[in-house]
Amino acid sequence: MVVEPSADARNAAERMLDADKASRALGIELTELSQGRAVATMTVTELMVNGHDIAHGGYVFLLADTAFACACNSHGPVTVAAGAEVSFVASARLGDTLVATAEERTSYGRNGIYDVTVRRGDGAVIAEFRGRSRTIERNGEAG
């Protein structure tokens, strides 16, 4: 069952992404948002390929991290990454559109675990990312 975030939570996640100059500069777009879940897309440009003519892993990580951040913040309170790791599974190339789907696996106290799968337009898995989140603000108070 998909649970829609409250209007305040949706606005918090969207405001966070709107203020994210790095993600905006790369053309990352949020295409779906529900409570604990987000989907973001990015097209690999000339500036994103490395010396092997494949997408630089840092950009793939950044896309996954952006989807993770949106999913974490879909609950409302300010939430940040406490850590993350990525496994690169396949290469992406110039012109590929990548889709990162982030899903909350569990939350406990102020912590959460999220998995993000990054796919190419043909459905091939490019990377698997696991992020750990930490809520730093509740009800408008830092904590």
> What whole-number distance in Å separates Cα of residue 138 and Cα of residue 129?
26
**pLDDT tens per residue, range 14-62:** 888 888 899 999 999 999 999 999 999 999 999 999 999 999 999 999 9
**For residue 121, which phi and psi values (nearest 5 degrees)?**
-55, -30
Locate the domains of the chain by residue range.
7-142
Query: Could you give the angle at which helices 57-72 and 7-18 cross, rounded to 10 degrees?
Result: 150
Per-residue pLDDT tens digits for 75-122: 888 999 999 999 999 999 999 999 999 999 999 999 999 999 999 999
| CATH H superfamily, domain 7-142 | Hotdog Thioesterase (3.10.129.10)
